[in-house]
Amino acid sequence: MVLISVDFYLEVRQMNVSLDVLIARADMAVSGLGHAPSTMWQYRWAWSQITVFCSQRGADELTDEVTASMLRFVAFEHRQGRMKDWKRKLLRKAVLVLSEVARTGTYTWSVTRASHRNDALDAAFRPVQEQFEQWLTGQGLAQATRDLYAAVARRVLAWLPGRGITDVAELSPGDMSAAVVFLGGHYRPGSMRTAVTAVRVLCRFLEDSGSRGGLRAAVPAVSVRRVRAVAVLPARSVELLVDSPDPGTPIGRRNRAMLLLAARTGLRPGDIADLRLTDIDWRAARITVRQHKTATMVTLPLLADVGAAIADYLLHGRPPDAGDDHVFLRSQAPHVAFSSSADLYHVAATAFARTASTSTVDTGRGMRVLRASLATRMLEQDTPLPVIAAALGHRGIDSVKHYLGADEARMRQCCLGLAGIEPEGARP
C-alpha cells in the first residue's frame, strides 16, 4: 500500500482536486511500487486519454459519475470492435487507480481487479448461487470439484431469466432438461458428464433447501467417456523444451525450474503454481503437496536436477524482498504467486514456440503435455498402473487408463486382423 498525505486525502474526499493534480498524485503512488519503466509509460499514456475524455465532456474532476461514464465508454468501444482488448484493460485499470486514489488517498496494488464472478447474476438468483456455494462447502467435496459445480450452476442460473423464469420456485422438470441441452452448447462431449452431474447436484440442493423439489428425475443420465487423444512428446523433445528458457535471466531460471518440475514429477499446473517454500524438504530430498484437484497429500522425490534448478531460481532469480511464501513468483511487481494454472500455460506455450516442438495432438501446448509425457514413458518402461496413479496423484487406476492410448507400440499389438470379415468385393 502506498500512503498519501492526510491533507490530500481530505482534499479528494471533498472532491475539489483537479484531474491534473489527481493524476500527479496517482503517478507518485504507482511509481513507488517498483513497476518497470514501460509499465509506467503505459499508465501515463492511459491517464492522458482519460484527460482527453474528461475534457471533451467539460469535466475537470474525477467524480463517481465521470468514472462510471469512462468505464461504460471503454466497454462499449471494445464491444463495437473499435478498441483492442489490451487497450480496454489498460484504460479500465488506469481509471480505477485514479478512482481509488480519489476515494481513499491510498493505492493498493492487486494482480487483478476483476468483478465478483456472481455479479452478472440476476438479483433473484445471486442469493441462490451463494447459498449453493456454501452448501457445497459442507458436502466434503474437493475444492476443484466445488468450483466446477459452482461454475455450471452459475451458468444455468444466468440463463434462466432469458427463459422467462424469475424465481427458482417456478422451475419445472422441463426447465432442467432444457438446461442440459443449453449446457451442451458450451461444453465438449467429454465435459458434459461433469456438467450434467453438476445440474443434478444443484437440483439436490434445491430439494434440500426446500426451494423446489422433484427436479432431479428430469436430468438425463449420460455416459460419455473422453475419446480425445492424449497429447505427448518424445523424450528428446521434452529435454529441448525444458532447456529452452534463458538460464542467464531470472525469468529463464524460474521457467526452467517449473518446466523441469512438471516434466520430472508430473505435478499438475495448479499444484506447481501453489507450491510453497515449506513444501520442499531439502534434507530428505522430497516434495509434499496437497493437491488442489483431489485435496489429497502426495509426496514426490526431489530429483537432483529438479532441486538444482529450483535452488538456482531461489538464490539467483526470485525477488529477494518478496513477502510471499510461494516458490514461484511473478517477475513484475507485485511479486506474488501466479493467479492460476492458466498463467503456467503461457510459460509452456512459449517454450513450445521457441523450440518449434509439436505434441502428438497438435493442440497440446501446456504443462499438462509434460505430465502426460511422463505417464507415457512410465508405461513404456512397464511401470504398473497403480504406481503411475500414485506418482501422478490420481485416486485410482481408472484415471490413468486414458494414457494407454498414447503407447503406440503396445496399441499396435492390440490390432485385430480382418480375416473372416473382409469387405465385399475385397481382393484376396
What is the reported pLDDT for 233?
84
Calpha distance 314→326 (Å, rounded): 11
Residues 6+ apart with CB under 8 A from 60: 18, 19, 54
Residues 6+ apart with CB under 8 A from 389: 395, 396, 397, 399, 400
Helices (H), 105-140: 126-137
In 3-state terms, what secondary structure has residue 106? strand
What is the reported pLDDT for 5?
43
In one letter, which amino acid is 256? R
Nearest to 197 by CA among 183, 213, 214, 211: 183
Query: What residues does 2 pair with on adjacent strands?
Result: 107
Calpha distance 50→59 (Å, rounded): 11
As a whole number, mean pLDDT of residues 60-81 equals 85
Task: Output the nine-digit C-alpha cell for 171.
Answer: 422451475
What is the reported pLDDT for 58?
86
Q: How confident is the model at residue 424 (pLDDT cuts 50, 70, 90)?
A: low
What is the reported pLDDT for 385?
78
Q: Which domains can be identified in the chain, with CATH numbers?
A: 2-107 (no CATH), 126-218 (1.10.150.130), 235-412 (1.10.443.10)
Calpha distance 322→335 (Å, rounded): 6
What is the reported pLDDT for 286?
94
Number of helices (H) and strands (E) in the chain: give both, helices first.
17, 5
pLDDT, mean over the chain: 82
Calpha distance 330→336 (Å, rounded): 6
pLDDT in tens, 148-162: 999 999 999 999 988
What is the reported pLDDT for 2?
41
In 3-state terms, what secondary structure has residue 384? coil
Q: Which residue has the higher pLDDT, 9 or 419?
A: 419
Residues 6+ apart with CB under 8 A from 266: 370, 371, 374, 375, 391, 392, 393
pLDDT in tens, 221-276: 765 555 556 778 888 989 999 999 998 999 999 999 999 999 999 888 889 999 99
Calpha distance 259→396 (Å, rounded): 26
Helices (H), 122-249: 126-137, 143-159, 173-184, 189-208, 235-242
Calpha distance 310→313 (Å, rounded): 5
